[in-house]
Amino acid sequence: MAAEPLRIDDAGDPRIAGFVSIRERDLTGRDGLFIAEGTVVLRMLGSAPARQNGFAAEAILLLESRVAGVAEVLASFPETVPVYVAAAPVFDAIAGFNMHRGVLALGRKPAQAAALLPSLPETSLVLAGCGLSNHDNVGSIFRNAAAFGADAVFLDETSCDPLYRKAIRVSVGSVLTVPFSRGLAAEAMLRGLAEAGYEIWGLSPRGAVPVGEIPAARRIALVLGTEGEGLPETILSSFRTARIPQRPGLDSLNVATASGIALYQIALTMGRVA
Amino acid sequence: MAAEPLRIDDAGDPRIAGFVSIRERDLTGRDGLFIAEGTVVLRMLGSAPARQNGFAAEAILLLESRVAGVAEVLASFPETVPVYVAAAPVFDAIAGFNMHRGVLALGRKPAQAAALLPSLPETSLVLAGCGLSNHDNVGSIFRNAAAFGADAVFLDETSCDPLYRKAIRVSVGSVLTVPFSRGLAAEAMLRGLAEAGYEIWGLSPRGAVPVGEIPAARRIALVLGTEGEGLPETILSSFRTARIPQRPGLDSLNVATASGIALYQIALTMGRVA
* Angstrom distance (rounded) from CA A22 to CA A46: 20
- Contact list in B for residue A50 (CB cut-off 8 A) is none
pLDDT at A22: 76
For B62, the 3-state DSSP assignment is strand
Mean pLDDT (chain B, rounded): 92
Q: Tell whether A205 lies on the interface with B, counting CB pairs under 8 A.
A: no
ipTM surpasses cut 0.90: yes
Report the C-alpha gap between A116 and A113 in whole angstroms. 8
- Please check the confidence at residue B99 and state whether its pLDDT lies above 70: no
Residue B241's pLDDT band (boundaries 50, 70, 90)? very high
Contact (CB<8Å) A261/B256: no
The distance of B180 to chain A (nearest Cα, Å) reads 18
pLDDT of residue A100: 64
For residue B228, give every residue at least 6 positions away whose Cβ sits within 8 Å of its Cβ, in sequence order, or none.
none
Cα–Cα distances in Å, from A209 out to A205, A215, A232, A241?
Answer: 10, 10, 18, 7
Taking the C-alpha atoms of residue B101 and residue B98, their distance in angstroms, rounded to an integer, is 9
Q: Which residues of A touch B265 (CB under 8 A)?
A: 264
* Cα A12 off chain centre by: 31
pLDDT tens digits, one per residue of B120-166: 999 999 999 999 999 999 999 999 999 999 999 999 999 999 999 89
Give the closest of A149, A260, A267 to B260, CB-based: A260
Cβ–Cβ of B143/A274 closer than 8 Å? no
B274 interfacial to chain A (CB closer than 8 Å): yes
d(CA A219, CA A125): 6
- Cβ-Cβ contacts under 8 Å, A167 against chain B: none
Q: Does the pLDDT of residue B220 top 90, yes or no?
A: yes
Ranges A200-209, B59-68, B243-252: which has the least confidence:
B243-252
Sign of the Cα torsion A141, B248, B200, B219 reads positive
Which pLDDT belongs to residue B100? 64
Q: Provide, as residue numbers in chain B, all residues whose Cβ is less than 8 Å from the Cβ of A244.
A: 264
**pLDDT value, residue B61:** 95
Write out residues 6-65 of A within 8 Å (CB-CB) of B. Answer: 40
Mutation target to probe the A interface, by most A beta carbons within 10 A, among B264, B268, B272, B273 is B264
From CA A264, how far away is CA B3, in angstroms rounded? 48
Higher pLDDT, A201 or B110: A201
Q: Do B148 and A246 touch (CB under 8 A)?
A: yes
Chain A touched by B246 (CB under 8 Å): yes
The mean per-residue pLDDT over the stretch B192-205 comes to 97
* Among chain A residues, CA nearest to B252: A147
What was the pLDDT predicted at A96? 74
CA atoms of B46 and B39, how far apart (whole Å)? 11
- Is B267 touching A (CB cutoff 8 A)? yes
Best A254, A268, A270, A273 residue to mutate vs chain B (most B CBs within 10 Å): A254
d(CA A136, CA B17): 34
pLDDT of residue A69: 94
- pLDDT at residue B112 in the model: 73
Using CA atoms, how far residue A97 sits from A6, A28, A40, A170, in Å, is 22, 17, 20, 19
- Count Cβ atoms below 10 Å from residue A133 Cβ, excluding itself: 12
Set of chain B residues whose Cβ sits within 8 Å of the Cβ of A260 = 253, 257-258, 260-261
Phi, psi torsion values for A9, nearest 5 degrees: -115, 0
A253 and B CB contact within 8 Å: yes
With a cut of 50, list the residues of chain A below it in pLDDT. 28
User: What domains are there in chain A, each with its CATH number?
Assistant: 6-108 (3.30.1330.30), 117-269 (3.40.1280.10)
Rounded CA separation A152/A118 (Å): 11
Using a CB-CB cut-off of 8 Å, the residues of chain A touching B261 are 260-261, 264
Question: Please, are residues B168 and B175 in contact by the beta-carbon 8 Å criterion?
Answer: yes
Nearest chain A residue (CA) to B173: A251
Question: What's chain A's Rg over C-alpha atoms?
Answer: 20
